[in-house]
Structure 1
Amino acid sequence: MNTIVSQASKYILLALMVLFTIETYMVLRRRDEKSRNRIMRKQIGLMVMFNLVAYPTMYLLSGDFQMLVMFLAVVCFILVVQVLYRLIYRRASLILLNTMCMMLSVGFVIQSRLGMDTAMKQFIITSLATLICFIIPVFIRKVRIVSRLTWLYAVAGIGLLGVVLLFGRITGGAQLSVSLGGITFQFSEFVKITVVLFMAGMLQNRHDFKTVLVVTLVAAVHVGILALSADLGAALIYFMAYIVMVFVATRNPGYAFLGLGGMAGASIIAYRLFEHVRVRVAVWKDPFQDYEGTGYQIVQALFGVCAGGWFGTGLFKGNPDMIPLAYEDFTFAAICEEFGVLFAICLILLCMGMYLLIVNIATKLEKPFYRLVAVGLGTEYAFQVFLTVGGTTKFIPMTGITLPLISYGGSSIMCTIIMISIIQGLYIMRTDESQAREEERMQQRLRRRISDQEQYLKGYRSPARRDGYSGQGQGTPVQNVRYGENSRNGGGDARAGYADGGTTKIIRKLNRSQNGQNPADGREKKNGQEIGDTDELAKKIEEQTKNGLEIHY
């Protein structure tokens, strides 16, 4: 019975993940707002169903009642976050929010499978981080001083990394974290944000060589401290963000090639200087050479990926516990083993979709500072995913970087949620800018329309009007009145501002100068009924046009 439940659940979970991924890219392609909202509502249902299948299955297979408690907690978390975002930030990117929640769901499920203690800690940290980060979008949107604290970001980042270098705890041959009051902080995760803010502040207005040189020196100090701490994974992320941001700001490919060359040179130097770097390269080249020693982690990770196959072994039917640090560095291998390679591919596609969303937001931001911030944070996120997946699959040497939103790690997940909240703030800002531009265009069109109608009414009452028409109102308008060619007999031309049917009816009536007009008092009759003075008519046109209404009689 347990085998049937496990096998059935893995196919259902895969189907839900595939549907969610497809709908994510459908939203990216759709332009119709109603269609997008309908798809995003369906995604919420898919997330709830994903947890509804995963946690009861794990409860049936393990008998651990905490699985049901975790299920209720995760579903409540998803629904509360969705409701609060819609209430507080009505212009937020809901597809970005849905993608984040789905990846958190996958992380909670795999952490619950590996160990309920780590899953509970992960959930508490995530909930607190999400609650705190609710203020970030409005902070980004309202507080303009953020773009002027350039050197404060640099000093804060270098200071935090210096604290880790001097007092950090050594883990896996690298100084990664500092313990404060029994709580461990990995400051390099938070400096990811400050270094991006510094570079964006420096490059927002000036792109000359001197500015680029200053940015390069400060970025080199960050990377140098990380290299001395032997945290080379974070150093690579910083360096890649630096290369991309300088290229985007200057649009000079020469800087990008110089940066890549510098990264290659720095890698060679790191290989020469650090013993653990040489060990990781040797393990990457041939992990079976020291299978029971230095190569044990990567070999077990590769075994897990292969054991899962395309569809996975099913929950509690694999052996992810055999993979060292499966809940941190090798979470991707554990996912491949029990959920399958197809599920893992969908997960990578979701990560790519999130990166595309961030890039799309960046390209539509007007202010250079915010555009560079979005580009930098998106680059760090994408490169972190690349380092984790590449290291797990032996595509590149392992760097010890966690998978964002999925792997266990308080500092990592808190930093990632902060980054996504910043992106949400930038998206809301972009939406505000777009709406302001659209409102300005609407006001300009309305002003032109009112001006055109006033000019026509003046021309209608002037003596020149009699010379501007011939016959029974079938002639062409006078030159000082803006009409299109199709405006004869009141036909109207959208280019002249007479697109709506109500205004066209009025002009048609006014043009019938020979049919029922009383020149003495400016009143017009239709079927013997007076329809009002032209001055009153002009006033009504102006009043209703300002309200964006059609005019009917």
Structure 2
Amino acid sequence: MVNIIVEASKYLIIIFFAVYAYLCFSVFSNRKTDEDKAAIFSGQNRLMFFIHFIANVDILIKSENKEIIIFYAYQVILLASILILYRFLYPKASRLVVNNMCMLLVISFIMLSRLSLDKAQKQFFIAVISMIITLFIPFFIHKIKYLKKLTWIYGIGGIFLLAAIAVAGRVSYGAKLSFSIGGISIQPSEFVKIMFVFFVSSMLCQSTELRHLIKTTIMAALHVLFLVISKDLGGALIFFIVYLVMLYVATKRPLYALGGLVSGSFAAVIAYFLFRHVRVRVLAWKDPWAVMKGEGYQITQSLFAIGTGGWFGLGLYQGLPKKIPVVEQDFIFSAISEELGGIFALCLILVCISCFIMFLNIALQMKEQFYKLIALGLGTVYGFQVFLTIGGVTKFIPSTGVTLPLVSYGGSSLFSTLIIFAIIQGLYILRQDEGENNDRSKKEKRKVKRTKRKDEKVRKE
């Protein structure tokens, strides 16, 4: 009977999530009215809570751990609070971004509860603290007008943090990624990504003359250099790509982007010969089956999990995701594919893509160059990180050790991604205000024209 319930619930979860993913894109239609969009967002909320409930029933039945009931109740309170507070405090915020943020958190809590209840509870605690802090960020983005004047604070502050990690960081999987404060592990590069985007945006909105670009490039290169020294090559790659994208959009000169790609390719070759763990990852990517018992063990187990899950998955607790090393962090997408299925995994990718589209949409519609570049930079950070994670676990590219935003286990990654989503909400509200101001100015111009016409008629008479 238990297996029948788990099997039936597996299909319900897939169907509900597929509908949710479809609604993520249907909301972009110009034919939808505000009432239609509100109905779509409410429908997404219901689907999210249905998926959350069904999955936790499965976890309770299979684990027979009554702690799941209390933990589930806490999660519901958190999710409901996020939805209510955003609608109350920021009525102009993007409901799609809020819904997707909550949906990705739901998937994270479900998979982490299945893999390790202790880690799921730690992730939940970090999510609560992070949400309390980030709830104020849209207000500050909307109200503080001198953010673009803090250029060198962003740049020097980021370099200082990365230099501290390079010198005194704790080595993890061959790279210096974090340090501990009071028993809490912090990965500064996750937060420096945001500071880096603000620095580059501030510099490029001031000027795109060659001399100014050289200064910006030197500072960007220092960020990447310290990450390379720390052997955090996944982070270095993200910084590098983000800078190239922002530079190209700000200058509209393909030659700069081409030059950056060529120099980046040379740097990648040098990194291959300098760092052993890079050679190990490339070897595991090229032919993991040849080194299946050694360097290729992680990626082969990941591919086994994805292949075993098929389109519809094995169901929660029916697979063997714990055979994959570091499955809660770098390879959580493989665990999702194995137990919830390929269709669910594809829908997860679609939800991430819809977030990325929203980020770019905001970037395109922002009038002020500084905010436009911030939205573009943060969108690139998010989108490229998703690409690196999923590309690594599916053997599309070598593994980079990057986590899946909002889904993988990791406090710094979770906190920094919630900050990114909060900043995007602040920019979205700014864009809404710009639209309202434009409408008001247009109405005022129309009124002026009407009064002029009336005056002319009176004079003629």
Partner of 1:185: 186
| Cα distance in 2, alignment partners of residues 393 and 66 from structure 1 | 34
| Cα distance in 2, alignment partners of residues 429 and 408 from structure 1 | 32
Partner of 1:243: 244
| Cα distance in 1, alignment partners of residues 410 and 448 from structure 2 | 57
- Name the one with the larger helix percent: 2
Q: How many residues align?
A: 460
Shift in Å at residue 290 of structure 1?
A: 2.4
Q: Tell me the alpha carbon deviations over residues 280-306 of structure 1, each in whole angstroms, 9 at most, x when there is no partner.
A: 111111112222222211111111101
TM-score by length of 2: 0.98
Question: Within 5 Å, which residues of 2 pair with 1:455-474?
Answer: 455-459=456-460, 465=461
The one-letter code matched in structure 1 to 2:107 is V
Residue 178 of structure 1: SS of its match in structure 2? strand
Shift in Å at residue 208 of structure 1?
A: 1.3
Q: State the identity %.
A: 43
Shift in Å at residue 211 of structure 1?
A: 1.6
User: Any conservation in 2 of the 1:290–1:296 contact (CA below 8 Å)?
Assistant: yes
Partner of 1:172: 173
Shift in Å at residue 140 of structure 1?
A: 0.7
Does residue 316 of structure 1 match 2:290?
no
| Of 235-244 and 22-31, the range deviating more from structure 2 | 22-31
| Cα distance in 1, alignment partners of residues 38 and 258 from structure 2 | 42
User: Any conservation in 1 of the 2:283–2:295 contact (CA below 8 Å)?
Assistant: no
Shift in Å at residue 448 of structure 1?
A: 2.2
Partner of 1:150: 151
Partner of 1:351: 352
Shift in Å at residue 237 of structure 1?
A: 0.3
Partner of 1:373: 374
| Cα distance in 2, alignment partners of residues 108 and 69 from structure 1 | 13
Shift in Å at residue 205 of structure 1?
A: 2.7
Question: Gaps (5+ residues) in structure 1?
Answer: 460-464, 466-553
The one-letter code matched in structure 2 to 1:226 is L
Shift in Å at residue 451 of structure 1?
A: 3.3
Residue 185 of structure 2: SS of its match in structure 1? strand
Shift in Å at residue 70 of structure 1?
A: 2.2
User: Any conservation in 2 of the 1:205–1:368 contact (CA below 8 Å)?
Assistant: no
User: Any conservation in 2 of the 1:6–1:317 contact (CA below 8 Å)?
Assistant: no
User: Any conservation in 2 of the 1:190–1:415 contact (CA below 8 Å)?
Assistant: yes
Partner of 1:437: 438
TM-score by length of 1: 0.82
| Cα distance in 1, alignment partners of residues 255 and 19 from structure 2 | 42
Question: Gaps (5+ residues) in structure 2?
Answer: none
Question: Within 5 Å, which residues of 2 pair with 1:144-543?
Answer: 144-459=145-460, 465=461
User: Any conservation in 1 of the 2:162–2:188 contact (CA below 8 Å)?
Assistant: yes
Shift in Å at residue 171 of structure 1?
A: 0.5
The one-letter code matched in structure 1 to 2:28 is L
| Cα distance in 2, alignment partners of residues 332 and 317 from structure 1 | 16
Q: Tell me the alpha carbon deviations over residues 5-58 of structure 1, each in whole angstroms, 9 at most, x when there is no partner.
A: 111111000011100000010012244211111101111111111111110121
| Cα distance in 2, alignment partners of residues 189 and 429 from structure 1 | 25
| Cα distance in 2, alignment partners of residues 457 and 204 from structure 1 | 49
Shift in Å at residue 76 of structure 1?
A: 1.5
Residue 402 of structure 1: SS of its match in structure 2? coil
| Of 292-301 and 90-99, the range deviating more from structure 2 | 292-301
RMSD over aligned Cα, in angstroms? 1.1
Shift in Å at residue 452 of structure 1?
A: 2.6
Partner of 1:6: 6
User: Any conservation in 2 of the 1:362–1:371 contact (CA below 8 Å)?
Assistant: yes
| Cα distance in 1, alignment partners of residues 70 and 302 from structure 2 | 30
Partner of 1:496: none
| Cα distance in 2, alignment partners of residues 287 and 234 from structure 1 | 23
| Of 442-451 and 387-396, the range deviating more from structure 2 | 442-451
Over 6 Å off, 4+ runs:
none
| Cα distance in 2, alignment partners of residues 212 and 40 from structure 1 | 43
| Cα distance in 2, alignment partners of residues 447 and 145 from structure 1 | 34
Partner of 2:82: 81
Residue 311 of structure 1: SS of its match in structure 2? coil
User: Any conservation in 2 of the 1:176–1:188 contact (CA below 8 Å)?
Assistant: yes
Partner of 1:24: 24
User: Any conservation in 1 of the 2:242–2:380 contact (CA below 8 Å)?
Assistant: yes
Q: Tell me the alpha carbon deviations over residues 348-383 of structure 1, each in whole angstroms, 9 at most, x when there is no partner.
A: 111111000000000010111110011011001111
| Cα distance in 1, alignment partners of residues 35 and 212 from structure 2 | 46
Residue 289 of structure 1: SS of its match in structure 2? coil
Shift in Å at residue 176 of structure 1?
A: 0.5
Q: Tell me the alpha carbon deviations over residues 145-178 of structure 1, each in whole angstroms, 9 at most, x when there is no partner.
A: 1111101111110000011111111010100001
| Cα distance in 1, alignment partners of residues 29 and 104 from structure 2 | 21
| Cα distance in 2, alignment partners of residues 235 and 66 from structure 1 | 40
Q: Tell me the alpha carbon deviations over residues 95-143 of structure 1, each in whole angstroms, 9 at most, x when there is no partner.
A: 1111111111111100111011010111110111111011111111111
The one-letter code matched in structure 2 to 1:22 is Y
* Greater length-normalized contact order (CA 8 Å, ≥ 6 residues apart): 2
Shift in Å at residue 457 of structure 1?
A: 4.3
Shift in Å at residue 199 of structure 1?
A: 0.5
Q: Which has the larger radius of gyration?
A: 1
The one-letter code matched in structure 2 to 1:7 is E
User: Any conservation in 1 of the 2:389–2:402 contact (CA below 8 Å)?
Assistant: yes
Shift in Å at residue 247 of structure 1?
A: 0.3
| Cα distance in 2, alignment partners of residues 369 and 360 from structure 1 | 15
The one-letter code matched in structure 1 to 2:324 is I
Shift in Å at residue 458 of structure 1?
A: 5.0
| Cα distance in 2, alignment partners of residues 383 and 20 from structure 1 | 23
Residue 312 of structure 1: SS of its match in structure 2? coil
The one-letter code matched in structure 1 to 2:403 is T
Shift in Å at residue 259 of structure 1?
A: 1.1
Does residue 15 of structure 1 match 2:3?
no
| Cα distance in 2, alignment partners of residues 337 and 159 from structure 1 | 41
The one-letter code matched in structure 1 to 2:167 is L
